[in-house]
């Protein structure tokens, strides 16, 4: 049995990344692996196991049999990732976009259009898929700063700037939609409006959505505080100051859970009760408190726990 099989079962992507770099070299050196973007702790752990199993010598020379077996594993792990040059002309991402099929492109194909070229022997589609896998998809990439992007093997300053610009364009398009004063009559419409921005935040934010008499958003969402509901200024005073300044007749509270799990905490419930009571006092009722998670998940406290609004 190959020495890395057990580790592959529990650390699939890191081990595959190590193997892609290792099988490409006749002599496996730590410097080569680090230069290929393999984190040092992954390289050290895998090299230690392989040396103990004598799959490579102490100086990094391969035993041909395990090298062949590992190459087969690497090839089998990416059956859906195709080299761009092997695709028919009409099936390539750029041609599909020009033919009106941009909505049919996978995430990796869209990212490949931005990257344009791969890294070393890794084709651009493979490179794009690896980035998405390693960073947790588009959301993970969107949360990285340009400086953090440049630390990824194969992403230089130019690519980092282009990816950051795409993220910013997306945010500005969403901000433009907010200015159209959408009607927020259900938790679904609230989640659809704020999720594209909130799910990309690496920290928790607490927002006030001031509404007019027709439940339309007045202007843009107001940020009440950043951190978490216990560590930010999520007090009724701060929340309703923003609502009253917007001449709101009612308001919705929204905050995100960066963990991705939208289930409310005891602090979330306590804040909701305080906002409901304060809203009655100032004549601006709280319509709902919506918690945003990842993957389209959200919780409406009015719907799930109506007793908080009683």
Alpha helices in the chain, H assignment, sequence order? 5-10, 12-23, 30-35, 40-52, 64-76, 93-98, 107-115, 124-135, 137-142, 146-149, 157-178, 187-198, 236-245, 266-282, 301-304
How would residue 79 be classed by pLDDT, with cut points 50, 70 and 90? Answer: very low
Query: What is residue 87's predicted lDDT score, i.e. its pLDDT?
Result: 66
Q: Please write the tens of the pLDDT for every residue from 8-54.
A: 888 887 888 899 889 988 899 888 888 777 888 888 899 999 999 99
How would residue 231 be classed by pLDDT, with cut points 50, 70 and 90? Answer: very low
| For the ranges 36-40, 78-82, 278-282, the one whose mean pLDDT is highest | 278-282
- Cβ–Cβ < 8 Å for 46, 15: yes
- Cβ–Cβ < 8 Å for 290, 299: yes
| The pLDDT of residue 269 is above 90 | yes
| DSSP β-bridge partners for residue 227 | 204
Phi then psi for residue 229, to 5 deg, are -65, -20
Sequence-distant (6+) residues with CB within 8 A of 87 are none
Sequence-distant (6+) residues with CB within 8 A of 148 are none
| The pLDDT of residue 230 is above 60 | no
Burial category of 246 from C-beta neighbours within 10 Å (exposed 0-12, middle 13-18, buried 19 and up): buried
Q: How many residues does the chain have?
A: 310
> In terms of pLDDT, which residue wins out, 296 or 284?
284
CATH number given to 181-309: 3.40.140.10
Instruction: Give percent of the chain above pLDDT 70.
Output: 92
| The pLDDT of residue 229 is above 50 | yes
What strands lie across the sheet with 204-211, from one edge to the other? 222-227, 204-211, 250-256, 286-292, 298-300
**Owner of token pair 């057990």:** 6
How would residue 235 be classed by pLDDT, with cut points 50, 70 and 90? Answer: confident
| The pLDDT of residue 151 is above 60 | yes
**Owner of token pair 């009015």:** 302
Domain ranges of the chain: 5-76, 84-174, 181-309
Sequence-distant (6+) residues with CB within 8 A of 162 are 114
Q: Determine the Cα–Cα distance for residues 172 and 166; give it in Å rounded to an integer.
A: 10
**Which fold is adopted by the domain 84-174?**
DNA polymerase; domain 1 (1.10.150)
Helices (H) and strands (E) in the chain, counts: 15, 5
Cβ neighbours around 279 below 10 Å, total = 21
Torsion of CA 242, 219, 201, 298, to 10 degrees: 90
Q: Determine the Cα–Cα distance for residues 120 and 246; give it in Å rounded to an integer.
A: 55
Q: Determine the Cα–Cα distance for residues 234 and 228; give it in Å rounded to an integer.
A: 8
What the block records as the tokens of 148 is 């953090």
Mean pLDDT across the chain, nearest whole number?
A: 87
Q: Please write the tens of the pLDDT for every residue from 177-215.
A: 666 778 999 999 999 999 988 988 888 999 999 999 999
C-alpha distances (whole Å) from 287 to each of 47, 210, 248, 271, 279 are: 58, 10, 12, 14, 9
Query: What is residue 206's predicted lDDT score, i.e. its pLDDT?
Result: 94
Mean pLDDT within 211-240:
83
Comparing CA positions, the residue from 245, 294, 305, 220 lying closest to residue 270 is 305
Mean pLDDT within 258-266:
90
Query: What is residue 107's predicted lDDT score, i.e. its pLDDT?
Result: 87
| The pLDDT of residue 218 is above 70 | yes
- pTM here is 0.54
């Amino acid at each position: 049995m190959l020495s890395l099989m057990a580790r592959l079962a529990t650390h699939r992507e890191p081990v595959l990344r190590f193997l892609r770099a290792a099988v490409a070299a006749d002599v496996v050196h730590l410097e080569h692996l680090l230069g290929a973007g393999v984190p040092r702790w992954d390289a050290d752990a895998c090299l230690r196991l392989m040396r103990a199993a004598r799959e490579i010598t102490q100086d990094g020379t391969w035993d041909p049999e395990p090298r062949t077996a590992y190459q087969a594993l690497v090839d089998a792990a990416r059956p859906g990732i195709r080299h761009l040059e092997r695709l028919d002309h009409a099936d390539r991402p750029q041609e599909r976009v020009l033919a009106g099929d941009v909505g049919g492109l996978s995430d990796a194909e869209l990212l490949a259009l931005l990257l344009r070229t791969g890294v070393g022997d890794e084709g651009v589609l493979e490179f794009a898929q690896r980035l998405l896998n390693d960073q947790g998809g588009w959301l993970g990439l969107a949360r990285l700063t340009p400086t953090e992007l440049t630390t990824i093997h194969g992403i230089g300053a130019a690519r980092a700037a282009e990816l950051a610009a795409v993220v910013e364009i997306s945010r500005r398009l969403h901000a433009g939609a907010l200015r159209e004063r959408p009607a927020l009559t259900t938790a679904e419409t609230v989640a659809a409006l704020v999720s594209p921005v909130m799910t990309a935040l690496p920290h928790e934010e607490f927002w006030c959505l001031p509404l007019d008499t027709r439940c339309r958003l007045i202007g843009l969402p107001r940020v009440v505080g950043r951190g978490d509901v216990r560590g930010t200024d999520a007090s009724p005073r701060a929340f309703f100051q923003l609502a009253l300044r917007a001449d709101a007749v009612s308001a919705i509270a929204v905050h995100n859970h960066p963990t991705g799990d939208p289930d409310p905490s005891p602090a979330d419930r306590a804040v909701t009760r305080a906002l409901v009571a304060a809203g009655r006092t100032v004549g601006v009722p709280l319509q709902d408190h919506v918690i945003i998670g990842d993957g389209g998940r959200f919780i409406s406290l009015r719907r799930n726990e109506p007793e908080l609004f009683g």
